[in-house]
């Protein structure tokens, strides 16, 4: 069963013209969810990874399960004001405005090899901001893993141009 077949498309959400790729249908399917985690774990099995960093919120689900499977720690990358201890943040532009992601200053130590995980790569702004945070903490970002890539929106190319290797399990063209 292809992972892509378990992802629901919701037309015109959250606004007209957007094809929203909803992974909740994938997550509720026990075989599909297992396939995602196993495929990512297999892809990264020969990489030395110390921690998984997951982007809020769906990156927490995929990232935490992958961290468990690989036997490594998990680090949350959150929206501004959500983490209780000392943080550093990175502001980034959105299509209509700006946002900020933060990470605890003690989340990683210098030289740790970190894999960044999220459910989807679209324009790449959030992932690029999360990479910048990890690099500020002097982590070695070994790659970025996604369930879905929307290549027409340029995010994976943006990460590649920034020197980080993106990997995804499926693509949706024309978004």
Model confidence pLDDT, tens digit, residues 115-132: 999 999 999 999 999 999
Question: Which one from 58, 78, 112, 128 is the annotated catalytic residue?
Answer: 58
**Is there a catalytic annotation at residue 58?**
yes
**Is there a catalytic annotation at residue 95?**
yes
Question: Which one from 86, 95, 110, 173 is the annotated catalytic residue?
Answer: 95
Measured between alpha carbons, how far is 94 from 104 in angstroms, rounded to an integer?
23
Residue with tokens 């490594």: 72
Closest by alpha carbon to 147, among 129, 120, 123, 116? 120
Model confidence pLDDT, tens digit, residues 49-98: 999 999 999 999 999 999 999 999 999 999 999 999 999 999 998 767 78
């Amino acid at each position: 069963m292809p992972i892509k077949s378990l992802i629901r498309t919701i037309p015109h959400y959250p606004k007209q013209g957007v094809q929203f790729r909803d992974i909740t249908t994938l997550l509720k399917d026990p075989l599909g969810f297992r396939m995602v985690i196993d495929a990512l774990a297999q892809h990264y099995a020969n990489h030395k990874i110390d921690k998984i960093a997951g982007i809020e919120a769906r990156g927490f689900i995929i990232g935490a399960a992958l961290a468990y499977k690989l036997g490594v720690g998990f680090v949350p990358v959150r929206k501004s004001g959500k983490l209780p201890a000392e943080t550093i943040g990175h502001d980034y532009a959105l299509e209509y405005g700006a946002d900020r992601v933060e990470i605890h200053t003690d989340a990683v130590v210098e030289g740790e090899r970190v894999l960044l995980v999220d459910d989807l790569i679209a324009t790449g702004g959030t992932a690029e901001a999360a990479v910048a945070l990890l690099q500020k903490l002097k982590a070695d970002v070994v790659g970025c893993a996604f369930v879905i890539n929307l290549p027409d929106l340029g995010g994976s190319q943006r990460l590649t141009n920034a020197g980080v290797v993106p990997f995804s399990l499926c693509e949706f063209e024309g978004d």
